[in-house]
Amino acid sequence: MAADKEKKDKDQELKDKIVENANKVVDNASLAMLNKALDDCVETCFDRMETQKNQCTFGKSGVCCRICHMGPCRITPKAPKGICGATADTIAARNFLREVVGGTAAHSDHGRHLVLKLREIAKGEGHGYTIKDEKALVRVAKLYGIETEDKTASQIALELTDIFLHDFMSQEDYLATLALAPQKRQGIWQQTGVAPKGVDRMCVEAMHRTTMGVDHDYKNLLMHAFRTSLADGWGGARIASMTSDILFGTPAPLKSAANLGVLKNETVNILIHGHEPTLSEMLTFAVKDPEIAEYAKAAGAEGITIAGVCCTANEVLMRQGVVIAGNSLQQELAVITGAVEMMVIDVQCCMPALPEVAAHYHTEIVSTQEIAKMAGATHMGFDEEAPIESAKNIIKRAIDNFKNRDPEKVKIPSEHEPLIAGFSVDAIKYMLGGKYRASFRPLNDAIIQNRILGIVGIVGCNNPKQRADSYSGILAEELIKRNVLVIETGCAAIAAGKAGYMTPEYAREHAGAGLAEVCEAVGIPPILHMGSCVDNSRILEAATEIVKEGGLGDDIAGLPAVGVAPEWMSEKAIAIGCYCVASGVDVILGNEFYVSGSEKVSKFLYEDTKELFGASFHLIEDPMEAVERIIEILNAARDALGINKKVERKLFDMADRRSAH
């Protein structure tokens, strides 16, 4: 009897968990894998979210300080000061600045790595890496005033990398890359004192300012947070995107697919996960080698499927059309398919739980970077002096693991959606204006004529605190209905791809009339995939192009444009949010910063920044409320620009169509 009851209770518990799982994720592929995890007794981040449910309120409100060992100190009404006398304002601002440093350092170290690679190539030490896009090299060099006539690619690359490296190392000079911003914005940065000097200096200075007994003025600390973030968006991250384009090619529209259903039963499945394209580009190159195809065949596989996770996925999607297995919260779920021979990780967003999940299957987790090892993973240091051999060794090892796959444990969801990605700024210009008249003019005109209400960037991660991909999905659907052109990066972009939003057909069926007309005339989806997390700098680049094109004001602030980080979780998202606000773009957060313990810090971030930069943060946890707020912000910008007059609705005629090409 007792055994019967126990079984009944267990069955009920399982049923309850299956019901709960449906509230954790939006897409059916993820749901199927969460339910499989229950059967396979595998713990995921969604379970650990439950065990971490009662998160520390001091941490969440930003008033826990462990900067010195007199502490840790926690601020309460009864204990309003730390042992040193630091107030909630100082502590919350210091913690916030340190988060911005974390994000800035991550993007910038990624950028530095690429710049050093470009420099090696220029010196003839590329070891198999080459400059794939010389046009991009010349285009970027010209931005920095480098004379390119009669020079070899190597000479140009050497001069350019000198400038880039100076942007990392400079002690006194302002970043050269700041000059890529609209003139007026540069003036605002100088006036407010947030124009950054070298990226490395900004990060070191921030760590100095926040150590015990240095900077205690919350405003001064927060201003340095914005200054540091600008060294990211208009420094490290922007340099990373430009250098990736030079090294691996400027993205242009291409077809691919996204979601766990891209994995195949009959092939060796290799996942590439992280952020940097250096290794993943080589893997996608090496996998095409006939020797590798033969090797896979000999192992009984019908071929090899390489699929991406997180922003490594976005990098190789944008340039090679490599399929996407999933975004951040699907990294464990992809392994749970039981069909993955190897997950190769580089840097950032790779959960340390992966080897434990992999231990339930035959999957091998392989770390490749000296700075990013993982307990329980196999480390195969990627030899950048012999990259093709290194990549082949990794792939062969995955093929060797194919025989260990247990068919009983394999269940690959069928879901995957087609998508078009590859919308670099250059590609957008080309799509809008054609080869000879590539420009943003048709887009500016569409905004001025009210076919497009404005532009919204939906960026960032997903987070188990929210139903994964739900907020970003609702936002995207509702905004395009209201004629807002949506641009996306990072894990949010993957969510949109999985949902099937990134095809021109989706515009025809779901976008508002004005946006649908523009999408049809130009041949673009209503939601443009602009790349990885570092590629948020492409959004700033696009905004700058729109300003330069004319008719919509003389600064990024004032454009009918908004940024949203609906489900963010990473420090990188904080840095991104800060450089967007400092660039004049209002940013809506779907979940909170950890600053609520200081009214002053909160007010500064959510209100006072408007005065300083013309934009601020807005915390809006409900997606429909966010939609309404976004429309308000876009309309206010349109009013201020004097373009919100009711224009007579007319369909795109032939002249309009021609001018869009």
CB 485 within 8 A of CB 528: yes
Residue 66 is a binding residue for ligand SF4 (CB under 6 A): yes
| Stretch of 77-85, 152-160, 382-390, 552-560 lying at the interface with ligand SF4 (CB under 6 A) | 77-85
For the record, the structure tokens of 579 come out as 């450089």
Question: What ranges in 588-622 are assigned the alpha helix state H?
Answer: 599-603, 609-613
Work out the angle at residue 278's Cα, subtended by the Cα atoms of residues 272 and 283, and round it to the nearest 5 degrees: 50
Nearer to ligand MSK, 314 or 320 (CB): 314
What residues make contact with ligand MSK under the rule CB under 6 A? 275, 310-311, 327-328, 349, 460-461, 490-491, 532-533, 570, 572
Residue 22 interacts with, from ligand SF4, ligand MSK, none (CB under 5-8 Å by kind): none
User: Please, what is the minimum distance in Å from the beta carbon of residue 13 to ligand SF4?
Assistant: 43
Residue 83 interacts with, from ligand SF4, ligand MSK, none (CB under 5-8 Å by kind): ligand SF4
Residue 569 is a binding residue for ligand SF4 (CB under 6 A): no
Other Cβ atoms closer than 10 A to 38: 15
Nearer to ligand SF4, 49 or 84 (CB): 84
Could you say which of 35, 40, 60, 71 contacts ligand SF4 (CB under 6 A)? 71
Residue 533 interacts with, from ligand MSK, ligand SF4, none (CB under 5-8 Å by kind): ligand MSK
| Stretch of 63-71, 242-250, 454-462, 640-648 lying at the interface with ligand SF4 (CB under 6 A) | 63-71
User: Please, what is the minimum distance in Å from the beta carbon of residue 597 to ligand MSK?
Assistant: 25
CB 230 within 8 A of CB 408: no
For the record, the structure tokens of 623 come out as 């997606």
Residue 84 is a binding residue for ligand SF4 (CB under 6 A): yes
Nearer to ligand MSK, 401 or 462 (CB): 462
Q: How far apart are CA 583 and CA 187, in angstroms?
A: 11
Residue 86 interacts with, from ligand MSK, ligand SF4, none (CB under 5-8 Å by kind): ligand SF4
Q: 134: helix, coil or strand?
A: helix
Sequence-separated (6 or more) residues with CB below 8 Å from residue 503 = 418, 419, 420, 525
Helix, strand, coil tally for the chain in percent (to 5): 55, 10, 35
Residue located via tokens 């993943």: 280
Nearer to ligand MSK, 251 or 514 (CB): 251
Sign for the CA dihedral angle at 202, 205, 211, 213 comes to negative
Nearer to ligand SF4, 95 or 363 (CB): 95
Residue 68 interacts with, from ligand SF4, ligand MSK, none (CB under 5-8 Å by kind): ligand SF4
For the record, the structure tokens of 416 come out as 């995957």
Residue 570 interacts with, from ligand MSK, ligand SF4, none (CB under 5-8 Å by kind): ligand MSK
User: Please, what is the minimum distance in Å from the beta carbon of residue 634 to ligand MSK?
Assistant: 24
User: Please, what is the minimum distance in Å from the beta carbon of residue 321 to ligand MSK?
Assistant: 19
CB 60 within 8 A of CB 75: no
For every residue of 158-198, DSSP letters joined together read: HHHHHHHHHHHH-SSSPPGGGGGS-HHHHHHHHHHT-----
Nearer to ligand SF4, 218 or 361 (CB): 218
Nearer to ligand MSK, 330 or 616 (CB): 330
CB 646 within 8 A of CB 504: no
What is the 3 state secondary structure string of 532-588?
CCCCHHHHHHHHHHHHHHCCCCCCCCCCCEEEEECCCCCHHHHHHHHHHHHCCCEEE
| Stretch of 66-74, 224-232, 452-460, 623-631 lying at the interface with ligand SF4 (CB under 6 A) | 66-74
Could you say which of 14, 18, 83, 214 contacts ligand SF4 (CB under 6 A)? 83
User: Please, what is the minimum distance in Å from the beta carbon of residue 499 to ligand MSK?
Assistant: 16
Q: How far apart are CA 69 and CA 67, in angstroms?
A: 7
Angle between helix axes 571-582 and 88-122 (nearest 10 degrees) is: 90
Residue 328 interacts with, from ligand SF4, ligand MSK, none (CB under 5-8 Å by kind): ligand MSK
Beta strands in 275-394 (DSSP E): 304-309, 324-326, 342-345, 364-367, 378-379
Residues 207-266 interacting with ligand SF4 (rule: CB under 6 A): 212
| Stretch of 82-90, 462-470, 472-480, 638-646 lying at the interface with ligand SF4 (CB under 6 A) | 82-90
Containing 458, the helix (H) or strand (E) segment is strand 454-458
Nearest C-alpha neighbor of 481 from the set 527, 542, 550, 540: 527
| Stretch of 2-10, 59-67, 285-293, 511-519 lying at the interface with ligand SF4 (CB under 6 A) | 59-67
Residue 460 interacts with, from ligand MSK, ligand SF4, none (CB under 5-8 Å by kind): ligand MSK
Could you say which of 82, 126, 251, 514 contacts ligand SF4 (CB under 6 A)? 82
Q: How many CA atoms lie within 13 A of 422 on its CB side?
A: 24
Nearer to ligand MSK, 460 or 500 (CB): 460
User: Please, what is the minimum distance in Å from the beta carbon of residue 575 to ligand MSK?
Assistant: 10
Residue 86 is a binding residue for ligand SF4 (CB under 6 A): yes
Q: Which residues bind ligand SF4 (CB under 6 A)?
A: 65-68, 70-73, 82-84, 86, 91, 212
